[in-house]
Chain A
Amino acid sequence: GENVEQHPSTLSVQEGDSAVIKCTYSDSASNYFPWYKQELGKRPQLIIDIRSNVGEKKDQRIAVTLNKTAKHFSLHITETQPEDSAVYFCGPSGTYKYIFGTGTRLKVLA
């Protein structure tokens, strides 16, 4: 079956540093690659996504890069701030099934 792996599971960075989270998937049919952020006690919310015909997308301090050949995509957060502290999930999609990674807990230390 489809497999999604997310690394690292926890990540601590100093405020102002960069953070990178990687998501590896197995389903070759995947063509949509989103990242969701879930703050403590809140619902997951989409922060950035990319489609298979694009290699990179940026939105202010957040970027996503895709390597379809190697079947992985990564979330990049620059100039991290305390409000970036949350759990981040990748959720590659190619069919009507949504398989999410197990999440990365990011802690931004002030």
Chain B
Amino acid sequence: KAGVTQTPRYLIKTRGQQVTLSCSPISGHRSVSWYQQTPGQGLQFLFEYFSETQRNKGNFPGRFSGRQFSNSRSEMNVSTLELGDSALYLCASSSSGWGEKLFFGSGTQLSVL
């Protein structure tokens, strides 16, 4: 089985721009969750999708949004980028998203200049 795939691997943007990141889960997995990873803050939960529905979200501003498609692929969007948005963005997939092992992608490294 192919693992969780995230694209692109690296992104460089300037303040004020917007960005879209993509995550393809393991085949058969219907839950996709997103995380922001920074050196001082660890892994911070952004949101989780299951069957195209957002079931929960973390404490991030409305500039961070996401969606999930019928094939379980997910995208997250960050609008009006700020310098502080520079981070590694990881997605993870699981069968149901409820109390089970998460399979992480390699992440998208976003740099905001």
Identify A44's interface contact among B43, B58, B59, CB under 8 A: B43
| Total A-B Cβ pairs within 8 A | 59
Interface size class of B (residues with CB under 8 A): 20 to 34
Identify A96's interface contact among B98, B102, B105, CB under 8 A: B98
B107 engages A100 (CB within 8 Å): no
Interface size class of A (residues with CB under 8 A): 20 to 34
B104 engages A98 (CB within 8 Å): no
**Of A1, A43, A95, A101, most B-chain CB atoms within 10 Å:** A43
Identify B42's interface contact among A1, A32, A89, A93, CB under 8 A: A89
Chain A interface residues toward B at CB < 8 A: 1, 31-32, 34, 36, 42-46, 49, 51, 89, 91, 93-103
18 pairs, A vs B, C-beta closer than 8 Å: A36-B102, A43-B104, A43-B106, A43-B107, A44-B104, A94-B99, A95-B56, A96-B50, A96-B55, A97-B45, A97-B58, A98-B45, A100-B35, A100-B43, A100-B44, A102-B41, A102-B42, A103-B43
